[in-house]
Amino acid sequence: MTLMDTIANRIYGILAGGAFGDAFGMPTECWSREQIKEKFPDGIHSFLPSQNNELMTRELEPGTVTDDTMNTIMILRSIVKNSGSLSTEEYIKELSYWLENAEDAKAVSGPSTIRAIQLIQQGTPIEKSGILSTTNGAAMKITPIGIIADYKKMDDLIKQVYDVSLPTHSTNVALTGAAIIAACISYVVAGGREIEALWTISLETVDKCQNIGYDFPSPSLSYRISQAKTIVRESSPEIAFERIVNELGSGVQTIETIPAVLAIVELANGNPIKAAKLSAEIGFDTDTIGALSTSICGGMNNCFSEEDIRLIEECNNINFDLLVKEILPFCYLVK
């Protein structure tokens, strides 16, 4: 296998992993941990159709992805259309079109993104449309930035995260969370497989992001990340998993999502299939946590079955080989 083949394999694992974790977590999105344990006492071991409760009502087939994957693909295609550079305007145009025209788009989209697009359509400048958004909508779509930006050149990576996130998520905590995911993806694109390094990179990214974005009041992300690491290191896997849920949360806020993602990567020991399973069972924002943790693990260990990937591709009209081929020339290790 050539170097280019190796890099392409990692990118494939990242992109397919994001969709895999998204689809695996889709059925239990907005379910509590207790509801999941009651409904699935033996755990979740395969793709399932959407499971409705009081908070989420939709009809989606097994293997269906949500806005996490669709926004990621939009970012990737915006990069490709602009020859490796970002176009904020192009992304907003594609996102607005998708929200207006795609079946079930609004049913699977986050509230911050929908609100920001509505504000932009009403004439709000993009510098102002995302100043209230502290949710994980910036992090969920950011993996293509990790493919094209070098985590060792952090200032450039952060700028690219800022440019694409600004219209929908311009608070410091949301931008920092997105930069953490981009940096972790960049690390695994380069062949990084050390989970300890992911914790270190994440905390270093928080320090580098102190002065970006709107300073919306938020708990300390670095403290939450450090606490997540302590929990998974001092407890058995089963107890650590429950502690992450009960002490740090698994919701849509960036302050909950990012520590949960890093904890699951370690609890899964870098195995993307296990990361998707744990994410689907953690409760609340299962699809986003699944998409991000499984992307990172997929870049470390591309071990998905052809049958599973074929199901996702056919169900969602996605071609991962084509996406890899399109983005590969702009990967920071290649260009």
Q: Provide the H-helix boundaries in the chain.
A: 3-25, 33-39, 67-81, 88-101, 105-108, 111-121, 143-148, 154-165, 172-189, 195-208, 221-234, 237-243, 254-267, 272-282, 286-300, 306-316, 320-327
Beta bridge partners of 253: 135
DSSP output for 191-247: T---HHHHHHHHHHHHHHTTTSSB------HHHHHHHHHHHHHHS-HHHHHHHIIII
Distance CA 71, CA 141 (A): 5
Distance CA 313, CA 65 (A): 10
Angle among Cα 164, 332, 145 to the nearest 5 degrees reads 20
Considering only CA atoms, give the Rg of the chain. Answer: 18
Confirm if 272 and 297 have CB atoms less than 8 A apart.
yes
Q: What is the pLDDT of residue 111?
A: 74
CATH (residue range 3-330): 1.10.4080.10
Per DSSP, which regions of 263-317 are E strands?
none
DSSP output for 16-52: HHHHHHHHHHGGGTT--HHHHHHH-TT---S------
Go through the chain and tell me how many residues it has. 335
Average pLDDT per consecutive 10 residues, the chain (335 residues; last block may be shorter): 93 98 97 96 96 80 95 92 83 77 62 80 84 94 97 97 92 98 98 98 98 95 98 97 98 98 98 98 98 98 98 97 98 92
Helices 88-101 and 111-121 pack at an angle, to 10 degrees, of 110
Q: Residues near 220 by Cβ (< 8 Å), separated by ≥ 6?
A: none
**Domain range summary for the chain, segments of one domain joined by +:** 3-330
Q: Which two tokens stand for residue 265?
A: 């990567």
Q: What is the pLDDT of residue 103?
A: 65
Q: What is the pLDDT of residue 52?
A: 80
Q: What φ, ψ does residue 253 adopt, rounded to 5°?
A: -70, 140
Q: What is the pLDDT of residue 89?
A: 78
Q: What is the pLDDT of residue 98?
A: 73
Q: What is the pLDDT of residue 100?
A: 77
The percent of the chain in helix, strand and coil, each rounded to the nearest 5, is: 65, 0, 35
Q: What is the pLDDT of residue 107?
A: 57
- Give the global pTM: 0.95
